[in-house]
Amino acid sequence: MKNITPKSKIARSAAFALIVLFQMITGFAYAQTGTIRGTIYEESTGEPLFGVSVLVRETSTGAVTDFDGKFDIKVAPGTYTLQISYISYSTVELTSVVVEDGKVAVISDILMKEEASELETVTIAASAIRTTESAMMSVKRNAPNVLDGITASTFRQIGDGDAASAVKRVTGVSVEGGKYVYVRGLGDRYTKTVLNGMDVPGLDPDRNTIQMDIFPTNVIDNIVVAKSFTAELPADFTGGVVDIETKDFPEEKTFRVSVSGGVNPSMHFNSNYLTYEGSKTDFLGFDNGARAIPTGGSTNVPQYGEVVGNPNGAKGQEYQSILGGFNKTLGASTKTSPMDFGFGISFGNQIARPKVTWGYNAAFTYKNETEFYQNAQYNLFAKPIESSEFELDALERQTGNYGVNNVLLGGLAGIALKTNASKYKLNFIHLQNGESKAGTFDFVNTNLGANFEAKQYNLEYSQRTLSSILLAGSHFFDGTNWEVNWRLAPTRSVIEDPDVRFTRFRQPTNTISTEVGLPVRIWRFLEEYNVNGKVDLTRNMKSFGRDSKLRFGGAYTFKYRDFEIQSFQFVTGNTVLDGNPNTILNQENLFSAENRNGVRYNPDFIPINPNQYQGYVTNFAGYTSFESNPAKNLKAILGLRVEQFNQYYTGTNQTGTINYDLVEMLDDLDFFPTLNLVYGLKENQNLRFSASRTIARPSFKELSYAEILDPITGRTFIGGMYRETTNGGQDVLWDGNLVSTRINNFDLRWEVFQNRSEMVSFSAFYKTFEKPIEIVQFLADPGSFQPRNVGNGTVAGVEVEFRKSLKFIAPSLENILWTTNVTVTKSQIAMSESELKSRQLTAREGQEIGRTRDMAGQAPYLINTGFAYNNFSNGWEAGIFYNVQGATLNYVGFGNRTDTYSVPFHALNLNVNKTFGADERIRLNFGVQNMLNDRKEFVFTSFGAQDQIFSSLAPGVKVNFGASFAF
């Protein structure tokens, strides 16, 4: 499969793009006159209006909008009034349109209202129209399904640097670990993230969705979160599908350079910061090979037992050469921590030619962020043996400091062209992210029949790469009666953890043994290719005497994943150690003919590597949906999607007795009906109802015979195909038959859209889960985790959202907008048999064990609230936002382990922007994150017991600042 790397194709396509760009910049950069560009939408549907006449009063020149509702008029510099008219619509008069020589005046959001009776004229000043959230609101108001979103203008206001922090602002969205999106508190298993409407490979083998933090906001145009299903969306989401749309081509020529910085007094310029020597290219977000595996990744590596008898034989020489090749640094060193910094460049333009309009844009971003966590804690607590005792016992306590340096490099380039009936778009995106971690911890163990104190050293590096190409086209036939959209997107993503190093010395003796854990080195590799294609056809027609739409189309997804871990343990033999981790691998300590009981490596992956698999997925989808207005105020969208999903797996178990080679693990043919009703109670007031069926499928790893041991945590992941029984095989706790989860979704929403930016909505939702998958611990071995279908579950919730200008208090507060969204949910899941049994066995005196509990990862409530100040005339924007998520079940407790819950983190962030010049030539921003200086904590909870820390981190207060300049 690897010969299909689209590298050469990328190179060829990139060369083509460059030529086009060059021609456009040199050929069309000089204009003799000014330009007016704009987009006109139908107010009630939010759809672009085709064939609208736009007349410049003063010159009597004009244009007619194209299928995108766009127009383009060349005029001499001056101030004009535009007269916009369309049959049976109120005429719009747009005054004070200022055109400068060689520049483009953009009026991007003109709405026209149908007026059957009388020809009426609406007059608006051009300066009053700006791209703001109102564009998103009009999409929202008119969308057939329930959706929310956030646009580029809001990223700027709030000052979020990446998609993960930006998307948190959306109603009902939370982000776990700064990376993974939860919609309505449903875990990432039930949330899907797509890029430009297309599946992209996730960058974590344990997750279904992509890590959001690798998308810098300067390549994003908007993020739309659809919370109810329509037939043209992929069926494997339940909470929501998050669509990251990258920037399309701009309306005017832009060239912008930005610089940014951040200072966290608790983390930066600290001389105790921990780091280690990595590679020379770490600052670019990738390792240059300095962390390469000394075996070259070979699985034909000599083992100690094969060479101990003959150290100087051929194999022995090879063994010693590999042994000497391992990097000798195992411990962190101190350095003064730098502050955060970054810069970005973006540029683009649109060139209107007589028959074709060209557009291009490119963005490049670099971020270098440093974190230093002091007194970080990671603990393990358990219930005491006697059920009459309540307070938890400590099993392991780990306290120490660690430093993290995160580098993100991102680039996006796109070209687009539009003819009178077609539009094409070609986009390249490449993201590179490298994260280096170094930590030193004090470790106290009172677990596993082992009591000891130790000093622990961790060094880690993780690099992620995503390269994606998107080719898309839209075609209109028969006026705009037929619309055809197609998209094709190949993507490659790689995640590598080269040379994770873990060392622990027992204190005070400075010895290393199996009891404290042997030094470990791990190389982890995951590569995934996706190819997605889809075609959507829309037929605009009349039914019930009103406009209606028939949509149908198909999609195809292909996925290939290759996953492998190679790990090595280091036995120190009779070597006398001094407690310095960096001397363990000194030459004189290593195994040799003279030192046969010296330090040696043991490869864990020979001859069988159960930590390795390949998987393929193919998914064929087809759908049809019909959107109509059976009554005047009622819009109904009825749809049906069908997906044929197949998953194939290649891998083995630990003992090598099960060897699967490209075996079909999943063969699901499902029909997904969907109904969306939108009833217009009044103008700008909708009542929505939707019902649909969706699916959540097990991942490659879950539906496998994998047995993946994490040598650092000692936890083993067991594939879902194995059974578990108890009582000598009499009671079956899990039958080894992992299946997809089918979900029924019901949504009800009442919404009022007031002025351009004000709105109120109330939603209620209810979901039923048939055989949801959760990660369950083995009853016989709490250190082993397995995906299993547990009992059926339900999630019910309500959402409230409003955006309200403070004008109602005093007119002078007109520019202050109060935005709030609150989600409250109640989830319930029927426990698996093994969990129920385990909870009953370890119940405390007086504790009652029910058959149900909260769904893991499901937040009971989410609150986002804040005030935004906007004043376009003086260029000030400011926002203060508060965000909190209720205590959420994180890990499900088992045996004597208890449940862990997140502790609500109260985030209060401030951001201020000031722009200078009419075209925002200079933009400055300043912000403070985590103003309350809260800690991020998870705790163990148990009946009648005080909560105990599971993990605790202090992110500190961070001050951000930045500046950008347009040329």
Partner 1 sequence: MKKVNSILIVFLVSLIGFTSCIEGNDKPTDVDGNSGSSIVVSSNITTNTTWQTGKVYVLSGRISVVSGVTLTIQPGVIVKGEVGTGANATALVIARGAKINAAGTATQPIIFTTVADEIQPGQIASPNLDPTLEGLWGGLIVLGKAKGSFAGDVTEIQIEGIPASDTNGLYGGTDDADNSGVLKYISIRHGGANIGEGNEINGLTLGGVGSGTVIENVEVVANQDDGIEWFGGTVSVKNALIWNSGDDAVDTDQAWAGTLDNFLIICGANTDHALEIDGPEGSYNAAHTVKNGSVKGHPASEFGDFRASARGTFENIYFFNFPSPADNNNAGRGDLSLSTGSDVTFANGALKFNKLEATLKEGVTLQQAFRSGTDVHASTVALKANTVGATKSVFEGWTWAAAAGQLADFK
Site residues for partner 1, 498-537, by CB under 8 A, read 508-509, 511, 513-518, 529, 531, 533
The H-or-E segment that residue 613 falls in is strand 612-631
**Could you give the angle at the alpha carbon of 414 between the alpha carbons of 412 and 420, nearest 5°?**
160
Mark residues 435-464: x for contact with partner 1 by CB under 8 A, - for none: -----------xxxxxx-------------
Residues 144-173 that bind partner 1 (CB under 8 A): none
Q: Is 847 in the site for partner 1 (CB under 8 A)?
A: no
DSSP 913-939: EEEETTTT-EEEEEEEE-TT-PPEEEE
Residue from the set 120, 206, 478, 664 that interacts with partner 1 by CB under 8 A: 664
- Taking CB under 8 A as the binding criterion, the range among 11-19, 47-55, 581-589, 861-869 that sits at the site for partner 1 is 11-19
**Could you give the angle at the alpha carbon of 633 between the alpha carbons of 629 and 637, nearest 5°?**
35
Residues 725-744 that bind partner 1 (CB under 8 A): 725-729
Nearer to partner 1, 118 or 594 (CB): 594
Please, what is the minimum distance in Å from the beta carbon of residue 246 to partner 1? Answer: 18
The H-or-E segment that residue 680 falls in is strand 659-682
Binding residue count for partner 1, defined by CB under 8 A: 110
Q: Is 295 in the site for partner 1 (CB under 8 A)?
A: no
- CA 91, 96, 98, 99 dihedral sign is positive
Residues 384-403 that bind partner 1 (CB under 8 A): 385-387
Q: Is 618 in the site for partner 1 (CB under 8 A)?
A: yes
Please, what is the minimum distance in Å from the beta carbon of residue 315 to partner 1? Answer: 12
Q: Is 16 in the site for partner 1 (CB under 8 A)?
A: yes
Q: Is 304 in the site for partner 1 (CB under 8 A)?
A: yes
919 C-beta neighbours (distance < 10 Å), count: 13
DSSP 674: E
Nearer to partner 1, 348 or 490 (CB): 490
Nearer to partner 1, 488 or 796 (CB): 488
Residues 63-92 that bind partner 1 (CB under 8 A): none
Strand, helix or coil for residue 43? coil
Nearer to partner 1, 242 or 415 (CB): 415
- Taking CB under 8 A as the binding criterion, the range among 205-213, 256-264, 625-633, 780-788 that sits at the site for partner 1 is 780-788
Nearer to partner 1, 41 or 378 (CB): 378
Q: Is 602 in the site for partner 1 (CB under 8 A)?
A: yes
Q: d(Cα 749, Cα 689) in Å, to the nearest integer?
A: 6
Pair of tokens at residue 964: 């950008």
Please, what is the minimum distance in Å from the beta carbon of residue 21 to partner 1? Answer: 13
Alpha helix ranges (H) inside 42-148? 133-142
Contacts of 806 by beta carbon, 8 Å cutoff, 6+ apart: 813, 814, 816, 817, 818, 867
25 C-beta neighbours (distance < 10 Å), count: 14
The H-or-E segment that residue 319 falls in is helix 314-325
Nearer to partner 1, 19 or 125 (CB): 19
DSSP 756-808: TT-EEEEEEEEEEEES-EEEEE-SS-TTEEEEEE-S-EEEEEEEEEEEEEGGG
Place of tokens 């603990």: 379
- CA 886, 892, 566, 557 dihedral sign is negative
DSSP 49-70: PSS-EEEETTTTEEEE--TTSE
Mark residues 868-907: x for contact with partner 1 by CB under 8 A, - for none: --------------------------xxx-----------
Alpha helix ranges (H) inside 45-132? none
Residue from the set 709, 790, 880, 889 that interacts with partner 1 by CB under 8 A: 709
Q: Is 702 in the site for partner 1 (CB under 8 A)?
A: no
Residues 817-846 that bind partner 1 (CB under 8 A): 837-838, 841-842
Please, what is the minimum distance in Å from the beta carbon of residue 377 to partner 1? Answer: 19
DSSP 481: T
Residue from the set 77, 630, 656, 850 that interacts with partner 1 by CB under 8 A: 656
Please, what is the minimum distance in Å from the beta carbon of residue 207 to partner 1? Answer: 22
Nearer to partner 1, 364 or 428 (CB): 428
Residue from the set 491, 784, 819, 870 that interacts with partner 1 by CB under 8 A: 784
Q: Is 661 in the site for partner 1 (CB under 8 A)?
A: yes
Q: Is 707 in the site for partner 1 (CB under 8 A)?
A: yes
Please, what is the minimum distance in Å from the beta carbon of residue 832 to partner 1? Answer: 14
- CA 358, 249, 86, 61 dihedral sign is negative
Please, what is the minimum distance in Å from the beta carbon of residue 436 to partner 1? Answer: 24
- Taking CB under 8 A as the binding criterion, the range among 306-314, 628-636, 755-763, 866-874 that sits at the site for partner 1 is 306-314
**787 preceded by a cis bond (ω within 30 of 0):** no
Contacts of 553 by beta carbon, 8 Å cutoff, 6+ apart: 232, 485, 534, 535, 536, 537, 622, 623
